[in-house]
Amino acid sequence: MPRVVNEGVAEDEQPGGKLEETVDATEQEINPDYEAMLEMEARSVSDVADVAANLTMDAVFDFEDMAKASGDKFMAVKPWVGSLVTPTKPPPMNTSAPPESLELEWIHGARMQSGRNLMKYNLKGDIIYPASAVGVVLRKEGDSRGVQRFHLDHTADITSLAIHPEGSLVATGQVGRTPKILVWDSLSMLTQRELHGHAVGIAHLAFSHADGKILASVGMDDHHTVIFYDWFNNQVIGRVKGHSRQPLAVSFTPNNKGFVVAGRKYLTFYDLRGRNFKKVPAVRGWCELCDEACP
């Protein structure tokens, strides 16, 4: 018969008695991480919260990875992990699109901080401008806020925009490792041509005057490379290095014989006559590219 001590509690039932010691020893033999489990259980909830509050995002991800690798000893922090069970009879995988869909109705604001001359009118008087990677065509109707239509074929932020002389075609350029220029119709909202050739991004775009057959683009690379396209036939017809300083405005000369880039403390003319385009100095007086006097 067991000896009774401490108000009638048997010795082998006392906390820290022989029975508890036997259970601890057995558990320790079965689970090699038993000591770590005891240490984890000894932490208070407030201690864990204090640690978590001071973790950076990278440390949080590392903490979760460590929890997955460590198993049961992190159950006190993530108690739901052990409750997740793979279903015995999972339903068949359904990869079809859901019946519901979202349709873009309205975009508030415009992106103007990444470029210049990013707002134009088309031949209908609609306002054309970029909003992130979307080309927006806004038509004002009465006193209402108007109706927006969207060109959604860009894959990165739009940083340049030009309108064709005929008034409906628009060229927009984007940023990216291999940025693209899209020529699209602001009435049908359909893309007509996709052009490539730059790196980093497109800083400026301009159509040639009158016919609009040539599209010029200035890149965001270190040399601000200028590329001339026969855009309708999707061909590069010329490429020249620009100035190292930031370009601020571009335009063809009135007779389309030249191209002008104005930047921070510089003005560069490009002679487009002949097979090789070249730079020509800007001087006061007669301009051979314009066939007229320069102010």
230 is a domain residue? yes
Letter for the amino acid at 120?
A: K
| pLDDT number for residue 9 | 45
CATH of the domain at 144: 2.130.10.10
Instruction: Work out how many domains the chain is built from and give that number.
Output: 2
| 151/238 same-domain check | yes
pLDDT 10s digits, 51-82 = 545 545 555 455 556 655 555 554 456 677 77
The set of residues, in sequence order, having a beta carbon less than 8 Å from that of 95 and lying 6+ positions away, is none
pTM score of the predicted model: 0.65
| 256/134 same-domain check | yes
- The percent of residues above 70 in pLDDT, for the chain, comes to 67
pLDDT 10s digits, 137-146 = 999 876 678 9
| 286/151 same-domain check | yes
Which domain covers residue 145, as residue numbers? 120-294
| For residues 11-37, average pLDDT | 50
| 52/137 same-domain check | no
| 70/192 same-domain check | no
